[in-house]
Structure 1
């Protein structure tokens, strides 16, 4: 953001207040009206209003506008310094297999430090764009975003980047944009999942992923391929199935259709003895397809998934061998990153957090 722009807006509004052109008790024009008047973005207006608030000239109230409370600086300054920043958090979705504990981490890290407003997009582009615009107009101090796609970039993101509003991309990489990101080491994770199967003695393994268009899946695929090369094993794309769509939020493919296609793939590749599933929901669908084909996990086929719910009170639930992304730490790191940008405007940091392979009940050596 051009510092001179919001400084100019601040100076002009300050002069109007001090001269009495805008009297104590009156409300300032809306952010949109001021943006039109000064020919700048609403983000620039927001920063100018934040300065007036901190200086004690106005009091800002969400949805009610900005009221002039003093013609001189200082009267409202003490109140403003104790006000917590508001952080908008836009997630694709969340459940017990992945996302809920990320949200816990964000909320736990925000205690006494920030107010967090949460929305979810279900992977729909229009919802993502709408929530970003909604939070921007609300006047949030920073944003956390888990994009629904790494191929489509919401126009609002480009605007936020250009104005240097604190923004952190969660669980994704957006190549070519100067924006902070926090994600797991998905390449190393894909490699570790495959290496676990190789270590058990499997030599022919497959990869099953959703049809989502996110960098996370591409990185896990890359790690899976690397593991083959490191073990001197040939990799063929015929051993991967990347069309599971019923688990993708913005698709309308039925579970029955996915199961039918997946069973066809498994039948064609009956020589495979182990699989890496890119997500827990994909792993569940894979196990179901194997079961319907009369195959047992792990006695016939081994499966490694990513993430797993913590069924603390249910001993009957099958515990997957899985990659644990340490979701709570992922959430905390994301909140810390956006708060750091509040202190240092324009700061860009790329954080890649380590993961851990947790051995469960779905992997075993192959039958000889």
Structure 2
């Protein structure tokens, strides 16, 4: 028997109908009552009732509810597609939207996908994970690498199909799908070095996520590969307006970035840890009278396509295979449905894309 919760409920109700405990012509308890008696969510009950209906055991009647119409299956029910929950912190054109493109395109004919976002709130993340426990699998982009929702620990204990997207949760036997963030940080720095820049800075948000830490490591590795000493003064990791439910304003960050740039006049190139951070950094430089890329160069980690905005300055950036991340995340969940407990670690390469914000020194 399939180990998913809704199929367990289906099998139990089917057995009760065939044994005559739930007689033909009688109405089933409400979805809420069934959820309470089985100790599962209403979503799980809806899936189980859909299987009973597809097999011909029950019919849904307006203003009455689900009624038993046969004690034997009257039609061959098509195999139900698994339902996968996808919980992201947020998504936009710089990162996330194209992940969903890959995920949703890959799900056609294979799985149903239910999508939610947490906006970085821990309590909402915990609530949504618990809400989706009755689904066949889960894809989660955690809001932090420092805080692990208790509901995740329970899913891991149950070997529930689960894939963590774009984060590393150290110490947990859990499938992950992410980009090579160390390689991305290294690519960005090496591009500036190849253009003749000797002193370069790194600017990131104040967020506590593994991807930013890995990008920092790659940035430092690039210095070591060149035999350059990395100066901690060349790093600013306190952009606050870009983190979830931030209280700092963009103006606050621009003011802080201007002070950082003025305090490090030797820097001729910068790596922005995210697209939004790169935008704030460019604004700070422009307000200081520094032209991009004539006076300073900026490489962004992530960037939207800006396909319909001819006036937008296209950042030199490191591109992630976002559709590939979505496809790999879905594949990881399906692999665990086929083989419960299977752990898959997937790391996708990144690509340096030249743009209009870097120039030779």
* Residues paired across the two proteins, number: 352
| TM-score in terms of structure 1 length | 0.86
Give unpaired runs (5+ residues) of structure 2: none
- Sort the Cα spacing of 1:153 and 1:70 in 2 relative to 1 into closer, same or farther, 3 A: farther
- Sort the Cα spacing of 1:159 and 1:265 in 2 relative to 1 into closer, same or farther, 3 A: same
Aligned 8 A contact 1:273 1:301 in 2:
yes
Provide the aligned C-alpha RMSD in A: 3.1
| Residue of structure 1 equivalent to 2:92 | 95
1:107-150 per-residue CA deviation (whole Å, 9 max, x = no partner) reads 111112222111111111111112222222xx322111111001
Secondary structure of the 1:365 match is coil
User: Equivalences for 1:270-289 in 2 at 5 Å?
Assistant: 270-289=265-284
Aligned 8 A contact 1:247 1:282 in 2:
yes
Bigger mean CA deviation after superposition, 10-19 or 230-239: 10-19
Residue among 209, 216, 219 paired with 2:204: 209
- Return the alpha-carbon distance in structure 1 between the equivalents of residues 223 and 58 of structure 2: 61
| Residue of structure 2 equivalent to 1:85 | 82
Aligned 8 A contact 2:88 2:116 in 1:
yes
Residue among 175, 185, 190 paired with 1:190: 185
Secondary structure of the 1:79 match is coil
- Return the alpha-carbon distance in structure 1 between the equivalents of residues 90 and 59 of structure 2: 31
Secondary structure of the 1:177 match is coil
- Return the alpha-carbon distance in structure 2 between the equivalents of residues 60 and 246 of structure 1: 53
| Residue of structure 2 equivalent to 1:23 | 23
Pair 1:248-2:246 in alignment? no
- Sort the Cα spacing of 1:11 and 1:358 in 2 relative to 1 into closer, same or farther, 3 A: closer
- Sort the Cα spacing of 1:231 and 1:13 in 2 relative to 1 into closer, same or farther, 3 A: same
What's the offset of the Cα at 1:203?
Answer: 1.2
Aligned 8 A contact 1:101 1:328 in 2:
yes
User: Equivalences for 1:50-129 in 2 at 5 Å?
Assistant: 56=55, 70-72=70-72, 74-75=73-74, 78-81=76-79, 83-129=80-126
- Sort the Cα spacing of 1:345 and 1:325 in 2 relative to 1 into closer, same or farther, 3 A: same
Aligned 8 A contact 2:41 2:131 in 1:
no
- Return the alpha-carbon distance in structure 1 between the equivalents of residues 163 and 303 of structure 2: 25
Secondary structure of the 1:133 match is helix
1:246-299 per-residue CA deviation (whole Å, 9 max, x = no partner) reads 011222211111111111111111111111111011000000000111111111
- Return the alpha-carbon distance in structure 2 between the equivalents of residues 130 and 344 of structure 1: 27
- Sort the Cα spacing of 1:191 and 1:68 in 2 relative to 1 into closer, same or farther, 3 A: farther
Residue among 218, 222, 225 paired with 1:227: 222
| TM-score in terms of structure 2 length | 0.88
1:46-100 per-residue CA deviation (whole Å, 9 max, x = no partner) reads 8x95998599586699xx998756544x545x3241x222211111111111111
- Sort the Cα spacing of 1:66 and 1:253 in 2 relative to 1 into closer, same or farther, 3 A: farther
Aligned 8 A contact 2:27 2:65 in 1:
no
